[in-house]
Each structure stands twice: as C-alpha cells, then as structure tokens.
A and B are shown apart, each in its own frame.
Chain A
Amino acid sequence: KAGVTQTPRYLIKTRGQQVTLSCSPISGHRSVSWYQQTPGQGLQFLFEYFSETQRNKGNFPGRFSGRQFSNSRSEMNVSTLELGDSALYLCASSPTDGRSTDTQYFGPGTRLTVL
C-alpha cells in the first residue's frame, strides 16, 4: 500500500497570507490527524477527523482549520499567517475510530516557512 502523502512538501509564504495543505491517507484509513512540529514546542496536536467530522481539536487559534472529504483525504488551512506558524506540518492516518491501540502512520510533512 502507498503511504501517507502530503502536498506540497515545501511552502514559502509571507505574513498575512493564507495557506492550504493537503493530506492523502493510506488507502482504507478513515482517521486523519494533523500535528505541528517546531524546535521550541515539539510535536503538538492540531485536530483529528474521522468520517468527515472533526472529532478532536488541539489548543490552536481559530486561524487553523481543517476538513475531511468523503474519500478521507484531508486539508488544513491557516489564515492570516504569522511568523510563528513556520513549522513542519505532519499528517497521520489510522485505520479505525480512535482506539488507544491504533497506530498512526505519518506522512513526510509539509515544511511551511513564513517570511
């Protein structure tokens, strides 16, 4: 099976712009989660989608939003970009609905740089 894919791999934006990142989960996986990775804060959870519904949300401002489509593909959007939004954004998929034993499989990430 193909792994989790994320596009684009690299993005450069300026402050105030908005950006959309895309994630395609492993075939058959219905849950998609997004994480932000920065050197200072480490890996922080953004949100999780299952069957097109946001099931869980981390502690990020409303500028960060996401959605999931009927084919389980997911997008996240960041509006009014700030310098502090520069990070590696990781998407992960898992096969079921939030069981603790689920393994999350990560994509290669999208590196966002905000100038």
Chain B
Amino acid sequence: GNSVTQMEGPVTLSEEAFLTINCTYTATGYPSLFWYVQYPGEGLQLLLKATKADDKGSNKGFEATYRKETTSFHLEKGSVQVSDSAVYFCALNQAGTALIFGKGTTLSVSS
C-alpha cells in the first residue's frame, strides 16, 4: 500500500541555518505530494504542494521538488527563523483515497 517516510527528528538548528527534511514515498500511479506544518496547539496548515513529477512547490521560503525517479519530496529552506519552529508533515494523496501522512518531524530553531 501507499506510505510516506520522513526523517526522524527532532531537528535542532540555529537561526539562519539551512534546513532539509527528507521525505520519501511509496505509491502506485501518480500521487500529489504535500507538506503541512503544525504549530503548537493548532491544526495543520498547508505549506506547499506539487501535483506532478518535477513540479516545485514553494511558500514562505520553503521549497520541495517532486522527484519521481527517487520517489522523494524533500523540504528545504535556505535560512530558518525561530518562528519556523513547528512539526512538519509530508503527505501524499491519490484520487479516491485519504491523505497519507508521514510521522512528522519536529523542528526547533534557536536564536
């Protein structure tokens, strides 16, 4: 069945450091891929998405490229801020099925 694997956290960085959170997936066909972010005490917010191979999603300085050859959708940001501290979830969606999430990666950024 379909699945999403994320790097385990927590990830601890200093402000302005480069961020990569790895995400790989297993799916038949051509899923859409998403990154969601969850701040403490809140629900999930869509961060970015990509719906086909080689698409790049971007938002608020975050980027991720849909790589079908490596079945990956790694999240990157060039310079993190303290306000980026949150839990990040990679997810996939296929027609007629529910969103499938990775286990989440906690990011902690210190000043």
Q: Which residues of A contact B (CB under 8 A)?
A: 4, 6, 33, 35, 42-43, 45, 48, 56, 58, 90, 92, 98-109
Asked if residues B43 and A98 are in contact (CB atoms below 8 Å), the reply is: no
Asked if residues A109 and B95 are in contact (CB atoms below 8 Å), the reply is: no
Chain A residues with CB under 8 A of B43: 4, 6, 90, 106-109
Give B32 Cβ to nearest chain A Cβ, in Å. 5
Which interface class (under 10, 10 to 19, 20 to 34, 35 or more) fits B? 20 to 34
Asked if residues B31 and A106 are in contact (CB atoms below 8 Å), the reply is: no
Task: A6-B43, A33-B98 given; name 8 further pairs at CB < 8 Å.
Answer: A45-B100, A90-B43, A98-B95, A98-B96, A98-B97, A101-B32, A104-B93, A108-B42
A-B pair number, CB within 8 angstroms: 57
Q: A43-B89, A100-B30, A100-B32 are in contact. Are A56 and B98 (CB under 8 A)?
A: yes
Across the interface, A100 reaches (CB within 8 A) one of B36, B89, B93, B102, namely B93
Closest 4 pairs (CB-CB, A-B): A45-B98, A106-B44, A106-B43, A43-B101
Asked if residues B101 and A103 are in contact (CB atoms below 8 Å), the reply is: no
Give A50 Cβ to nearest chain B Cβ, in Å. 11
Give B48 Cβ to nearest chain A Cβ, in Å. 10
